[in-house]
Structure 1
């Protein structure tokens, strides 16, 4: 029988907010401290909400896999519905399953590989504007690049003037919603506060631009169909989603198409941009690892961009990406809310309780990653991924809701890393302050300022 007692955990710094103040002030360290001080299953409050932190891989697997059908996305994730709508990240139940089924064929390995030439070409266009000695913000540059790639592979569109304002509105909306997450009692969105009015304007702008992207993508798909397919031509994801049919022959509604397009656009650029940004920071700080990486590219690629066929021959590149996502996971926290009374780790999980699982915590567990704070790509070269528990390392989540675009993201990261890295290295600004801004993803708080140097 599960215990009616709560797992051990911090009492919190305030009677009303519980641990919310500590979480807000030092989010990443808060989870590390809770896991270290209270063990594999800990408990705390955010205002009236009861939270558990599961840090044992077996408990995480129970939540994400074994008992997955009895959990939904937690309240914090649901806060992002005004932007993401009812897409794959936020939808639940049979609706989610239908959308996943309709979207899955677009992410088959062969189809994902067809986007590689566009990824390489857009990277080369970015490099054409670079010069040795130029100052850049690494995160800004790669965010712009992966955003352009998402626009091309999702809608078949080249970069547009709308993209920059779209990304700005997206960031503003997420900043405002993240602020709501940090309050005990958020003001309802219908109350016309200054923050709510700004959020409403940002969402209205996002919808207008996304509708324009979809309309332009549909027009391009129609033109392409009228001209006949070109052998070997990559078909954008929007075209595949438009053509997708469920078992009963039904297609996505316009609203469903908008929600999935918004979700895929966001997921298709931000996490990969962060993976690359953090990877270049770590490589700049670890020149021996960078030298080994460049030697691999020289031996295998000889200066050209990699193709999907090259990727199995780039094991150290793969290890660098894996290690960057271990040290600085772009998605550092996921949560699930119980829809019925359950058991976890010998404790009773009541309906409505939230289970947090933190990649930031698990990826730093010295039991599986000796010297966890060090950047050591070579740790992945001797079969580590197969030796450790599955949920000791889970940068793309897990279970039925594992990220649908993980193959796309890993291929994109490898192609962009090698294409850029054979031409340039990044010298960090010695006065740079590198800090974290953990929102829905793990952002660099002040960017990553660096100077370009030719190879």
Structure 2
């Protein structure tokens, strides 16, 4: 018998990897499959080493809440974000502590309820503009098209409705930056941005080009009281003291404010095309609610099925598929110790596909999102926008935009898969399709006939997996049981 002594609980099991690089090879090869296998094989708290960095994959909602809510002061943003300040600056995504709280307060007016109502016409206008492009028919990459719409929306909302946007140029720069961020997080020894490598030179040129666009939009804006700077009335691009804060806020809002929404829409089109029953329910609602007019802000509460489709898409393909927090002091989760400097890793990709919280977790069932289901769902089992005090400040903006854009386009069109080839997932900073999502744009009548909720002949079932399947970055593939 011992008196006055305490001991840590036994260290939980986890993947060993190689003595030199840990699980870097598995991490690089197929990140989504790797984290899924870790959770299935080892449980809700899994120690993982990737190169020299140590962390813990946490998959139980109660433990996630401990990190994001109860002990939020024990953590700061993960090193991957902090190491990308050349691009993101000192904005909301990279700041911590009092600095983060001040920046969050400054940004809050951009997303207040009255502002969201003002943004709605811009969202619908951009959807209708894309609808005119789709009128030509043919095969479209809906991922590119949704990026186009979402980027135009966020720039016009932040810099004024007349902002002139070179989408191709901005998208090219953002893709270069995404590739750089992805390469850095997967490197054995990440080089600093100051290293004069060809890749870093390309990165700096891309950031410089985006900076020029941001300052150009602000300079040409017709109104000095724009959302992106009205949160701090003294901040103007002519004031050297504030130019950095202005740029960082605008860059963060532009990047984070279009990527999540565009991908939610892209994956929604992909999933709907696999399930004609869900498509029919959504079309029936759109025809009933909208009739022959585009959606407005006042229509949002009645577009319940469209909202369910977006929520289910965000569950199956969360744009932010994994994120982390770095411990700033020794702390614990569920009785397990996390030393200072190590990370708590949270993967919505894993949690959203856990049968404990979501029956038939790998199937597309928008109707699951009933009020009763949402009431009974554990608080941190659904994390498309993060959770706790640092949950995404623009989540209502993103949901409103996704519902309005999907409704406006689905009112007139029903994109269908352009090929039978699987869509290859590409988990960079966000969860993209590596080669896009090609679809044939098909017109539909504004008032479609009502289809019963039962399956009809020819209905294509959603892609489904068995316990021996894992959806990987190469699509749905069979493999041995884990």
Give 1:430's match in structure 2, choosing from 411, 419, 442. Answer: 419
Give 2:200's match in structure 1, choosing from 177, 196, 199. Answer: 196
Q: How far does residue 241 in structure 1 lie from its aligned partner after superposition? A: 2.9
How does 1:25-104 map onto structure 2 within 5 Å? Answer: 25-104=29-108
Residue in 2 that maps onto 1:107? 111
Cα distance in 2 for residues equivalent to 1:127 and 1:450: 14
CA deviation vs aligned residue, 1:276-312 (integer Å, no higher than 9, x gap): 0000000011000000000011111113222222111
Structure 1 residues 322 and 160: alpha-carbon distance in aligned structure 2, compared to 1, 3 A threshold:
same
Give 1:411's match in structure 2, choosing from 400, 418, 424. Answer: 400
Quick check: 2:86–2:193 contact (8 Å CA) kept in 1? no
Structure 1 residues 63 and 337: alpha-carbon distance in aligned structure 2, compared to 1, 3 A threshold:
same
Cα distance in 2 for residues equivalent to 1:300 and 1:161: 32
Q: How far does residue 400 in structure 1 lie from its aligned partner after superposition? A: 0.8
Q: Which has the larger displacement, 341-350 or 438-447?
A: 341-350
Quick check: 1:139–1:277 contact (8 Å CA) kept in 2? yes
Quick check: 1:87–1:259 contact (8 Å CA) kept in 2? yes
1:238 aligns with 2:243: no
Cα distance in 2 for residues equivalent to 1:294 and 1:74: 41
Determine helix, strand or coil for the equivalent of 2:337.
strand
Residue in 2 that maps onto 1:368? 357
CA deviation vs aligned residue, 1:110-145 (integer Å, no higher than 9, x gap): 211111111111211221222253210000111101
Quick check: 1:2–1:346 contact (8 Å CA) kept in 2? no
CA deviation vs aligned residue, 1:349-391 (integer Å, no higher than 9, x gap): 1100111001000000101111111000010124211101111
Cα distance in 2 for residues equivalent to 1:157 and 1:272: 19
Q: Which has the larger displacement, 307-316 or 136-145?
A: 307-316
Cα distance in 2 for residues equivalent to 1:6 and 1:76: 26
Cα distance in 2 for residues equivalent to 1:203 and 1:127: 31
Residue in 2 that maps onto 1:149? 153
Quick check: 2:307–2:403 contact (8 Å CA) kept in 1? yes
Q: How far does residue 242 in structure 1 lie from its aligned partner after superposition? A: 4.3
Cα distance in 2 for residues equivalent to 1:244 and 1:300: 43
Structure 1 residues 32 and 252: alpha-carbon distance in aligned structure 2, compared to 1, 3 A threshold:
farther
Determine helix, strand or coil for the equivalent of 2:414.
strand
Cα distance in 2 for residues equivalent to 1:45 and 1:189: 24
Quick check: 2:106–2:232 contact (8 Å CA) kept in 1? no
Q: How far does residue 162 in structure 1 lie from its aligned partner after superposition? A: 3.6
Cα distance in 1 for residues equivalent to 2:311 and 2:75: 28
Quick check: 1:88–1:100 contact (8 Å CA) kept in 2? yes
Q: Which has the larger displacement, 435-444 or 130-139?
A: 130-139
Residue in 2 that maps onto 1:6? 11
1:344 aligns with 2:346: no
Quick check: 1:132–1:453 contact (8 Å CA) kept in 2? no
Give 1:171's match in structure 2, choosing from 146, 168, 175. Answer: 175
Instruction: Give the TM-score normalised by the residue count of structure 2.
Output: 0.87
Q: Which 5+ residue runs of structure 1 have no aligned equivalent?
A: 223-234
Give 1:397's match in structure 2, choosing from 386, 411, 415. Answer: 386
Cα distance in 2 for residues equivalent to 1:239 and 1:271: 22
CA deviation vs aligned residue, 1:134-175 (integer Å, no higher than 9, x gap): 210000111101111111101115453544212211210120
Cα distance in 2 for residues equivalent to 1:307 and 1:201: 39
Cα distance in 2 for residues equivalent to 1:63 and 1:48: 22
Cα distance in 1 for residues equivalent to 2:296 and 2:206: 38
Structure 1 residues 35 and 195: alpha-carbon distance in aligned structure 2, compared to 1, 3 A threshold:
same
Give 2:429's match in structure 1, choosing from 440, 447, 455. Answer: 440
Residue in 2 that maps onto 1:221? 223
1:380 aligns with 2:369: yes
Q: How far does residue 313 in structure 1 lie from its aligned partner after superposition? A: 1.3
Residue in 1 that maps onto 2:455? none
Quick check: 1:242–1:251 contact (8 Å CA) kept in 2? no
Instruction: Give the TM-score normalised by the residue count of structure 1.
Output: 0.92
Q: How many residues align?
A: 436
Q: How far does residue 199 in structure 1 lie from its aligned partner after superposition? A: 1.6
CA deviation vs aligned residue, 1:419-449 (integer Å, no higher than 9, x gap): 0000000110124430100011100111000
Structure 1 residues 330 and 244: alpha-carbon distance in aligned structure 2, compared to 1, 3 A threshold:
farther
Q: How far does residue 239 in structure 1 lie from its aligned partner after superposition? A: 4.5
Cα distance in 1 for residues equivalent to 2:315 and 2:41: 22
Cα distance in 1 for residues equivalent to 2:176 and 2:36: 28
Determine helix, strand or coil for the equivalent of 1:129.
helix
CA deviation vs aligned residue, 1:61-116 (integer Å, no higher than 9, x gap): 00000010110011112232211101111111111100111111221112111111
Residue in 2 that maps onto 1:262? 251
Structure 1 residues 178 and 211: alpha-carbon distance in aligned structure 2, compared to 1, 3 A threshold:
same
Q: In angstroms, what is the RMSD of aligned CA positions?
A: 1.9
